Structure formats: structure tokens, C-alpha cells
């Protein structure tokens, strides 16, 4: 087991928005992958500046690894512990022992 596997112990589902057909997008999401992520962490002010985030909502970051390149992009969603978060930024790092590591900056999309 890798060091990262000890850190990424939360189960998550990556989803992408449905494709646009005839100028309309259905409300359905399609599943990209089941992954293990780190627990949600507050985003640093440096990350907010670097990704030019301007959101009044609660913003977190998680990290994950994959043996294959995932089609994660802004606008996808991540479901962690039954809560859905919108992906606001993605920073992939390639080839860490044959794995791609991703930093996902996510925001809470549920109004509380």
C-alpha cells in the first residue's frame, strides 16, 4: 500500500454533466469513476488566488490518484459522504510512481 493510499481513505464518485443535445442539457450526470480521496480540507488563500476563484460559497480541496488519466474538468461533480460538490478547479500531476495525482478544488452546491 502506498503512502498516498493511507491518506486517501474516503470513497467518492466522480461525475460529469450530461452532454448537450439540440442546445439543451438534461439534468442527469454520468459517472466517470469511483475513487478514493483525501478528506475534505479548507482551501488555502494561495490556491484561491492561483485558480482565480471568486465564489461566496464554502470551498474545499481533495486529492486523489488514478492509474489512468481521468476526464475531470471544471463543472464536473464529486459525491463524498452523500454530499455533492461542484468541481471549480483541477490540477493534475503526472507520473508519481505510475499514477496521476489530482488536486480538486470543490465547492458546496447545496444551499444550507
Are 106 and 88 spatial neighbours (Cβ–Cβ below 8 Å)?
A: yes
Does 91 reside within a domain?
yes
The residue segments making up the domain with residue 75 are 3-17+28-108
Does 23 reside within a domain?
no
| pLDDT tens readout for residues 41-89 | 888 888 777 777 766 678 899 998 887 778 888 889 999 998 889 998 8
Does 22 reside within a domain?
no
Which stretches of the chain are assigned E, i.e. beta strand? 10-17, 20-21, 24-25, 29-37, 41-42, 59-66, 77-80, 83-96, 99-108
Number of domains in the chain: 1
**CATH label of the domain that carries residue 83:** 2.40.10
pTM comes to 0.67
DSSP 8-state code for residue 3: H
Query: Which residues are CB-neighbours of 95 under 8 A, at least 6 positions away?
Result: none
pLDDT at 112: 45
pLDDT at 21: 67
Amino acid at each position: 500500500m502506498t503512502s498516498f493510499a493511507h491518506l486517501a481513505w474516503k470513497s467518492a464518485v466522480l461525475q460529469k454533466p450530461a452532454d448537450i443535445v439540440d442546445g439543451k442539457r438534461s439534468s442527469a450526470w454520468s459517472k466517470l469513476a469511483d475513487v478514493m480521496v483525501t478528506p475534505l480540507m479548507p482551501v488555502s488563500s494561495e490556491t484561491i488566488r492561483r485558480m482565480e476563484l471568486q465564489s461566496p460559497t464554502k470551498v474545499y480541496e481533495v486529492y486523489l490518484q488514478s492509474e489512468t488519466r481521468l476526464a475531470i474538468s471544471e463543472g464536473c461533480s464529486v459525491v463524498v459522504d452523500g454530499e455533492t460538490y461542484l468541481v471549480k478547479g483541477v490540477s493534475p500531476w503526472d507520473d508519481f510512481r505510475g499514477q496521476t495525482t489530482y488536486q480538486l478544488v470543490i465547492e458546496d452546491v447545496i444551499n444550507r
